[in-house]
Amino acid sequence: SVLLAEDSASGCNVPATPGAVGVVHGAARAQLDPAHAQRILAITGDGDQGLIALRACQAYVRAIAR
């Protein structure tokens, strides 16, 4: 779960119709707490490194299985 901190943008409406980018946003904005944002980035980075290691292991197993 993610904790959101209220800020000056709270209560501002964001257009619900798709724009040039093609993304539809909800009606409210919130600012992500910086500590939680750092945690999310760290978890994502760990996951990326895990996938890289898994690919290397799979390539190694394929190579020795030949």
Contact 36/47 with Cβ under 8 angstroms? no
Beta carbons of 24 and 16 less than 8 angstroms apart? yes
Mean pLDDT, the chain, rounded, equals 75
Q: How confident is the model at residue 33 (pLDDT cuts 50, 70, 90)?
A: confident
pLDDT, position 12: 55
In the predicted model, what is the mean pLDDT of residues 11-29? 55
6: tokens are: 């209220």
For 28, residues 6+ apart whose C-beta sits below 8 A from its C-beta are: 10, 11, 12, 13, 14
Q: How much is the pLDDT for 19?
A: 57
What pTM, to 2 d.p., does this model score?
A: 0.46
> Quick check: 25 pLDDT over 70?
no
